[in-house]
Amino acid sequence: MNLQDICLQVNDLAKEVGAFIRGEAGKVKREEIEVKFHNNLVSYVDKTAEEKLVEGLQKIVPDAGFIVEENTVGRSENAYQWVVDPLDGTTNFLHNIPSYAVSIALMKDEELLVGVVYEVNRGECFYAWKNGGAYLNGQPIKVSQTADCQQSLFATGFPYYDFSIFDNYQKVLQHLMKNSKGIRRLGAAAVDLCYVACGRFDGFFEHSLNAWDVAAGSLIVQEAGGKVCDFKGGNNFLFAHEIVASNPLIYTDFFQIVNRYLGRDNS
């Protein structure tokens, strides 16, 4: 399997679907917005984009199954799986606020092989394949070289439906507000991870995420030289609904801050 060739084909597909999403921006009517559950929105744009992605990805790796956000195709137990978020940052999209993105990953037995994130507004295509490095619009990218959390810029996502660890989440935010260059909340985890990969952010953490939110971005971070884990320091960031990502120089200190308040014993 030629992962580079697959990755480049996925790039083209992501850009094609991104163009569709861009063309629908500002056109969705209030009555066309569905509420899946508290503060979790979806429209025909998400569903149509996912259908287009599924159709295209089936042609690239016909034997692969799917893990998708909008359930336009059933999940199967194939060794290869596409992990797809057709529109990460739907709330941003529906409110005409950047940023939002198409996120696609290919994995085999939960090992990430290919990751593509296309940020629609800026036309930025981040991508990586296993052991092939990470790229932005054809140029290699690397994580930042910031060596001190005090000098780091962090990103996160605020809890918006799962408030089970809200108090401890606030403690992490309070610590970072007092001991870093600041915290940003863009509203699209896939984009946050790619910004870590290219050095715009030094670190990122969030909980209540799904595999489709983080699969592509986490591979891109790792191939850009960064580190990724769950809140306990393990590798279950795809399915544990929690993730920490950063450059390797601040990784230990940053993880310890998050783990101190959000590790299993504190959740």
Residue ranges of domains in the chain: 3-140, 149-266
Residue 33: band (very low, low, confident or very high) from pLDDT cuts 50, 70, 90: confident
Which CATH fold topology does 149-266 show? D-Maltodextrin-Binding Protein; domain 2 (3.40.190)
Which CATH fold topology does 3-140 show? Fructose-1,6-Bisphosphatase; Chain A, domain 1 (3.30.540)
pLDDT at 206: 96
Backbone angles phi and psi of 77, in degrees to 5: -100, 35
Task: Please report, rounded to a whole number, the percentage of residues in the chain having pLDDT higher than 70.
Answer: 96
pLDDT tens, residue by residue, 196-223: 999 999 999 999 999 999 999 999 999 9
Mean pLDDT in residue range 48-67: 96
Interatomic CA distance for residues 257 and 6, integer angstroms = 38
pLDDT at 37: 55
* DSSP secondary structure string for all residues of 135-181: EETTEE--------GGG-EEEE---SS--TTHHHHHHHHHHHHHSSS
Task: Please report, rounded to a whole number, the percentage of residues in the chain having pLDDT higher than 90.
Answer: 82
Residue 266: band (very low, low, confident or very high) from pLDDT cuts 50, 70, 90: very low
Backbone angles phi and psi of 88, in degrees to 5: -80, 120
pLDDT at 35: 72
Q: Which is higher by pLDDT, 71 or 178?
A: 178
pLDDT tens, residue by residue, 136-148: 999 999 999 999 9
Predicted model pTM? 0.94
34-38, 134-138, 148-152: lowest mean pLDDT where?
34-38
Check whether 39 has a pLDDT greater than 50. Answer: no
Q: Are 3-140 and 149-266 the same fold in CATH?
A: no
33-37, 61-65, 181-185, 243-247: lowest mean pLDDT where?
33-37
